[in-house]
């Protein structure tokens, strides 16, 4: 049965505002296209195409070959997410729970690690043959998904990078590991965001913990020793040095004797700050080439304040940017450093042989934009789907 896919109104829920810009089949609108596609799904004559492969910079990425394939993959994501049974924690939830645990005046051992080549190590055939995955799809849709992802026991292909459905399949694949770590003796908190893992335990035996979680991990995966860090929160020196996780930095500054709790400062990790500096640099370099000030201004507005956009996939308005992904920051030193870096680029782009880049009015507009002020005042900007696609294009792989 393909009842949902045979409904044009349901397919319309899978469309996005920037689709006409990205996919030639949708360039003329979807009002006449979706009923035809719904009929193909309903009559089971839809033929999924192999994924396209392209150079994504640091790694090879995959994308759907046609707009029909795009809508089918979005449908697959919905089905996998709806029936997974375990709601994954987001960045804000993980960070807030870590802070609550660390504030308690108790000695904890924090282990932070990640999985080496996560998507490139999970066999797509094994992921698709999990009972929880098979239960998500009718037989026809399951066969389509197997064909599109090239799930074959003889080729040992891995989960394709760049597809949201790969993330959902990975969540099903890691569900048994998650349950095992959560139930392990002494584990106070366990959080995993894709391949980044943090474990807070009351145990002092780090070797035993590492050995246990290594045994729980599926055989095709392994931890990255270069990114495995341990912090003993009961050690004042280590607690002050702190640790980074998901772009956050966690540091203990002092003990509050009256409450018998520790004061934990949450900031932005150095790696996250460097990524934003790189995006600022890309925006100004692109402006120097094309002289499109409105595009530069909108990109800096997006970087400093983020934006609010309606997600048809989640059927709600979502927010993007630092203030959305890194809420409850108490240490704004990184934000001030980003403001200084932005100010330096504004000054640099107005001299050194490119004096015509900015007028005084344009300089004033850019100087009004601030990472610190936008975060503290919770400033959001609104862009159309087409404009957001233009703004984020150069930031895609940074």
Nearest to 376 by CA among 345, 336, 342, 343: 336
Give me the pLDDT at residue 354, please.
Answer: 47
Rounded Cα distance, 90 and 290, in Å: 37
Strand runs labelled E in the chain? 52-55, 60-63, 109-114, 187-193, 196-201, 229-232, 243-245, 248-256, 261-268, 307-311, 316-320, 381-382
91-124+149-268 CATH:
3.30.70
Rounded Cα distance, 242 and 239, in Å: 5
pTM score over 0.85:
no
Q: Tell whether the torsion through CA atoms of 91, 194, 170 and 395 is positive or negative.
A: positive
Nearest to 27 by CA among 393, 386, 313, 387: 386
Nearest to 159 by CA among 171, 148, 169, 145: 169
β-strand pairing of 187-193 with 243-245: unpaired
Rounded Cα distance, 252 and 309, in Å: 36
Rounded Cα distance, 202 and 145, in Å: 43
Nearest to 320 by CA among 388, 267, 266, 227: 388
Task: Give, in degrees to the nearest 5, the angle at Cα 135 between 134 and 140.
Answer: 60
Nearest to 160 by CA among 15, 285, 56: 56
Show pLDDT as tens, one digit a residue, over the chain (398 residues): 467 899 999 998 888 877 877 788 877 777 778 888 999 999 999 999 989 888 766 778 888 989 999 999 999 998 998 765 556 778 888 888 888 888 876 778 899 999 999 998 999 999 999 999 999 999 999 999 999 999 988 888 999 998 989 999 999 999 999 999 999 988 999 999 989 999 999 888 888 888 999 999 999 999 999 888 888 887 778 878 888 898 899 988 765 454 556 688 899 999 899 999 999 999 999 998 888 899 999 999 999 988 877 665 556 677 888 888 888 888 888 999 999 999 999 888 766 554 557 888 888 999 999 999 999 888 888 887 778 888 888 887 77
Rounded Cα distance, 298 and 301, in Å: 5
Nearest to 242 by CA among 234, 331, 233: 233
Give me the pLDDT at residue 178, please.
Answer: 92
Rounded Cα distance, 120 and 118, in Å: 5
């Amino acid at each position: 049965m393909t009842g949902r896919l045979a409904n044009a109104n349901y397919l319309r829920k899978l469309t996005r505002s920037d689709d006409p810009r990205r996919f030639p089949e949708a360039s003329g609108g979807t009002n006449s296209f979706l009923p035809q596609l719904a009929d193909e799904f309903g009559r089971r004559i839809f033929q999924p195409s192999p994924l396209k492969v392209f150079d994504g910079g640091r790694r090879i990425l995959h994308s759907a070959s046609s707009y029909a394939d795009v809508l089918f993959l979005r449908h697959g994501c919905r089905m996998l997410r709806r029936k997974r049974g375990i709601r994954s924690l987001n960045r804000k939830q993980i960070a807030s729970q870590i802070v609550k645990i660390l504030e308690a005046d108790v000695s904890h051992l924090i282990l932070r690690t990640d999985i080496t080549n996560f998507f490139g190590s999970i066999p797509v055939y094994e992921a698709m043959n999990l009972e929880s995955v098979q239960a998500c799809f009718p037989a026809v849709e399951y066969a389509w998904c197997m064909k599109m992802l090239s799930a074959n026991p003889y080729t040992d292909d891995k989960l394709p990078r760049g597809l949201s459905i790969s993330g959902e399949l990975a969540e099903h694949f890691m569900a048994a590991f998650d349950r095992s770590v959560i139930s392990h003796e002494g584990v106070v908190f366990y959080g995993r965001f894709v391949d980044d893992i943090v474990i807070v335990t009351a145990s002092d035996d780090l070797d035993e913990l590492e050995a246990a979680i290594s045994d729980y991990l599926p055989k095709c995966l392994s931890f990255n020793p270069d990114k495995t860090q341990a912090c003993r929160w009961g050690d004042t020196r280590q607690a002050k040095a702190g640790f980074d996780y998901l772009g956050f930095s966690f540091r203990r500054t002092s003990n509050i004797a009256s409450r018998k709790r520790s004061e934990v400062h949450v900031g932005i990790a150095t790696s996250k700050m460097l990524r934003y500096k790189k995006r600022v640099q890309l925006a100004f370099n692109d402006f120097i080439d094309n002289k499109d000030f409105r595009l530069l201004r909108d990109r800096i507005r997006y970087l400093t304040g983020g934006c609010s956009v309606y997600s048809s996939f989640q059927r709600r308005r979502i927010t993007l940017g630092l203030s959305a992904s890194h809420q409850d920051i108490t240490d704004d030193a990184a934000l001030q450093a980003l403001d200084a870096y932005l100010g330096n680029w504004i000054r640099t782009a107005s001299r050194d042989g490119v004096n015509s880049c900015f007028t005084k009015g344009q300089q004033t507009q850019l100087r009004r934009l601030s990472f610190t002020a936008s975060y503290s005042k919770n400033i959001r900007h609104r862009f159309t789907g087409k404009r957001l696609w233009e703004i984020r294009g150069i930031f895609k792989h940074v």
